[in-house]
Structure 1
């Protein structure tokens, strides 16, 4: 699987990436919103994990842009497959969680979460 990770907590993002690589996945970890957006639209990803707060962009803005991109791609390619999109936050926020879900996020999680539990949820959904 191709997995893109962009979280504000770089140490946690690197740790997630390390564990996913150990499981045999192709993982790219980036540090800011500009890199996330550039990579998000330049390659087909199976899973995208983005923080609610990253530099230059809000994770919800990135998700909304991605959904619009996917809608256009589906018009061009009927077999286009959207990535599973996960939003991470450093605190539980009901409003952000509901916004993420309404924008099409696969799930919303609070960082740091038990890594094994998070990996199981990401790879299972």
Structure 2
């Protein structure tokens, strides 16, 4: 059974690129463009991992993370935050809220894949 990844990114081109990348690796992917939609979708589909931009409309990435952690642990729903903000305070806050990983933009294919594979507990050699 393929793992389900929720991608939360307001830039449709970036979101589509991440979709393509993950689908090529045999992940199932769903997406949202803002924090409110993302929370609703996460509660509905219960993804195996969440990949979320920090700066999205409605509720930012840390806000989404904080809400999800009220229901699911780091192990139950791994959360990977990505941001272009190099501020250590954001990194510290993300990990304090229960992020599993933080990726700095510009996004690198290997960083995304390594983080998602680690979060799902599978390897590229066994994509399901």
Specify the TM-score bucket, using the shorter chain as the normaliser: 0.7 to 0.9
Identify the match of residue 28 of structure 1 among 27, 30, 52: 30
Deviation track 1:69-116 (CA, whole Å, cap 9, x = no partner) reads 226xxxxxxxxx611101111221210110110111001111222212
Which residues of structure 2 form unaligned runs of 5+? 120-128
Superposition CA RMSD, Å: 1.5
User: Post-superposition shift, 1:122?
Assistant: 2.0
Which residues of structure 1 form unaligned runs of 5+? 72-80
Which residue matches 2:52? 50
Query: Does the Cα contact within 8 Å between 2:103 and 2:111 map onto a contact in 1?
Result: no
Question: How many correspondences in the alignment?
Answer: 116
> What TM-score do the two structures reach when normalised by structure 2?
0.82
Query: Does the Cα contact within 8 Å between 2:83 and 2:105 map onto a contact in 1?
Result: yes
Segments of 4+ moved more than 4 angstroms: none
| Superposition map of 1:1-125 within 5 A | 1-70=3-72, 82-125=76-119
Which residue matches 2:124? none
Provide the rounded CA distance (Å) in 2 between the counterparts of 1:66 and 1:90: 22
Query: Does the Cα contact within 8 Å between 1:3 and 1:25 map onto a contact in 2?
Result: yes
Query: Does the Cα contact within 8 Å between 2:7 and 2:50 map onto a contact in 1?
Result: yes
Query: Does the Cα contact within 8 Å between 1:5 and 1:13 map onto a contact in 2?
Result: yes
